[in-house]
């Protein structure tokens, strides 16, 4: 059992009322039943809420066991939360405490819809505001840098293979990771979407080139993605499929594009780890898949600040969300800076 699991109260040990409420809020049976408040949430979100609530129940069970016999509403108050936060701070950074409280509040909103939890939101915001800020090493990361890293890795693998007149597994993995990083920089999917790509299904041949045909169920916004891949990148995919993929264990047993060293397709966590490992070696810090999305917005705001609102569609957002608003503001700042620079240049030229 993992240390994370030990901190949770297993669902079979939850109070019966809590278990029944939990099942009810995620029940998909009657979509018009207002009790099914969590039916629209993605599985990953449900799991995050379950973990946070199970951790809180473990805290209650260990320190206030008698409260497990009470309704869920009786187990949440300022005093208990203050004690819980003190416990969390012993093993977690402030940002982790904020995330835990955020998910706990969302879980409680589903289980106890009639309880006012605004005070818990205020406390969470206060902790977040006071949390020390780490220097953002990835602030200048753009899609261009990530794409070029992918190209560099693939070229290095090809050169090594030619020099050795052989393609060992490690060299094949270098090419695989390079192709992975380059494609991530191009179409910025979420990691479960990347892990689901199969040759002949999501990755399809279109004439001399390849294309990605991602169905709605593999996209967060339920919008299908049809992404044509450039001729150069298509040739690199051909090289991977014909020369490198076949040297990865178990490649002939499945159609997954990304082959692990365990004779099966790479999981989303394995993809996450591979990308972090390669980018850390290259840049001195790991770039996770979410930061690829930030890098795309940063690159757009630099290259084309006038049309930076297009980041919304690039990232698959249904509306102009906070993330795209940030890149819009970056683009506007750059436009203003360029206008000022031009004005100063014109003024100085007039004085000469």
CATH code at 238?
1.10.443.10
pLDDT of residue 222: 60
pLDDT of residue 211: 87
Same domain assignment for residues 331 and 246:
no
Same domain assignment for residues 187 and 320:
no
Same domain assignment for residues 298 and 212:
yes
pLDDT of residue 267: 93
Euclidean distance between CA atoms 299 and 143, whole angstroms: 6
Last residue of a domain, one of 287, 303, 319: 303
DSSP one-letter code for 93: -
Domain tally for the chain?
A: 3
pLDDT of residue 335: 38
Same domain assignment for residues 154 and 21:
no
- Distances from the Cα of 196 to the Cαs of 218, 226, 245, 268, in angstroms? 8, 15, 17, 8
Residue-number span of the structural domain to which 326 is assigned: 307-351
pLDDT of residue 230: 86
pLDDT tens for the chain, 352 residues: list them. 344 445 899 999 999 999 998 888 877 555 454 555 666 677 778 888 899 999 999 999 999 999 999 999 999 999 999 999 999 999 888 988 999 999 999 999 988 988 999 999 999 999 988 887 665 555 567 777 888 899 999 999 999 999 988 899 999 999 999 999 988 887 777 778 889 999 999 999 988 899 888 777 666 556 666 778 888 889 999 999 999 999 999 999 999 999 999 999 999 999 999 999 999 999 888 888 777 766 554 444 444 444 444 444 444 444 444 444 443 344 344 333 343 344 434 544 554 4
Q: Order of strands across the sheet with 225-228?
A: 203-206, 209-214, 225-228
pLDDT of residue 36: 59
Same domain assignment for residues 177 and 261:
yes
Same domain assignment for residues 122 and 215:
no
Same domain assignment for residues 265 and 327:
no
pLDDT of residue 314: 47
Same domain assignment for residues 219 and 176:
yes
Last residue of a domain, one of 101, 130, 159: 130
pLDDT of residue 152: 95
Q: Does residue 136 lie in a domain region? A: no
Euclidean distance between CA atoms 63 and 84, whole angstroms: 10
Strands, E assignment, 96-202: none
Given a contact cutoff of 8 angstroms between Cβ atoms, the answer to whether 184 and 292 are in contact is yes
Same domain assignment for residues 43 and 163:
no
Q: Does residue 196 lie in a domain region? A: yes
Same domain assignment for residues 155 and 294:
yes
Dihedral class, residue 257 (left if φ above 0, else alpha if ψ from -120 to 50, else beta): alpha
Euclidean distance between CA atoms 288 and 310, whole angstroms: 22
Euclidean distance between CA atoms 27 and 38, whole angstroms: 8
Same domain assignment for residues 203 and 315:
no
Q: Does residue 135 lie in a domain region? A: no
Q: Does residue 263 lie in a domain region? A: yes
Same domain assignment for residues 156 and 271:
yes
């Amino acid at each position: 059992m993992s240390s994370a699991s030990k901190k949770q109260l297993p669902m079979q040990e939850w109070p019966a009322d809590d278990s029944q409420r939990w099942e009810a809020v995620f029940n998909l049976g009657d979509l018009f039943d207002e009790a099914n408040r969590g039916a629209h949430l993605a599985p990953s979100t449900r799991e995050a809420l379950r973990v946070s609530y199970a951790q809180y129940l473990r805290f209650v069970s260990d320190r206030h066991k008698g409260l497990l016999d009470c309704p869920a509403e009786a187990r949440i108050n300022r005093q208990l939360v203050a004690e819980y936060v003190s416990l969390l701070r012993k093993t977690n950074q402030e940002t982790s405490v904020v995330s835990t409280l955020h998910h706990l509040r969302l879980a409680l909103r589903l289980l106890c819809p009639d309880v006012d939890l605004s005070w818990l939101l205020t406390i969470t915001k206060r902790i977040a505001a006071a949390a020390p800020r780490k220097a953002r090493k990835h602030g200048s990361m753009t899609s261009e840098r990530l794409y070029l890293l992918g190209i560099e890795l693939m070229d290095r693998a090809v050169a090594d293979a030619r020099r050795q007149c052989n393609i060992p597994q490690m060299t094949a993995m270098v090419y695989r990771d390079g192709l992975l990083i380059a494609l991530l920089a191009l179409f910025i999917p979420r990691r479960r979407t990347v892990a689901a790509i199969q040759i002949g299904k999501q990755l399809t041949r279109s004439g001399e080139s390849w294309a990605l045909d991602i169905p709605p169920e593999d996209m967060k916004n339920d919008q299908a993605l049809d992404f044509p891949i450039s001729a150069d990148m298509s040739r690199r995919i051909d090289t991977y499929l014909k020369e490198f993929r076949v040297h990865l264990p178990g490649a002939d047993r499945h159609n997954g594009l990304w082959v692990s060293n365990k004779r099966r397709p790479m999981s989303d966590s394995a993809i996450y780890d591979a990308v972090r490992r390669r980018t850390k070696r290259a840049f001195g810090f790991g770039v996770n898949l979410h930061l690829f999305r930030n890098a795309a917005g940063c690159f757009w705001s630099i290259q084309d600040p006038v049309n930076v609102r297009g980041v919304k569609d690039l990232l698959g957002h249904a509306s102009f969300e906070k993330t795209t608003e940030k890149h819009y503001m970056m683009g506007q700042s750059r436009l203003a800076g360029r206008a000022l620079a031009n004005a100063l240049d014109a003024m100085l030229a007039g004085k000469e």
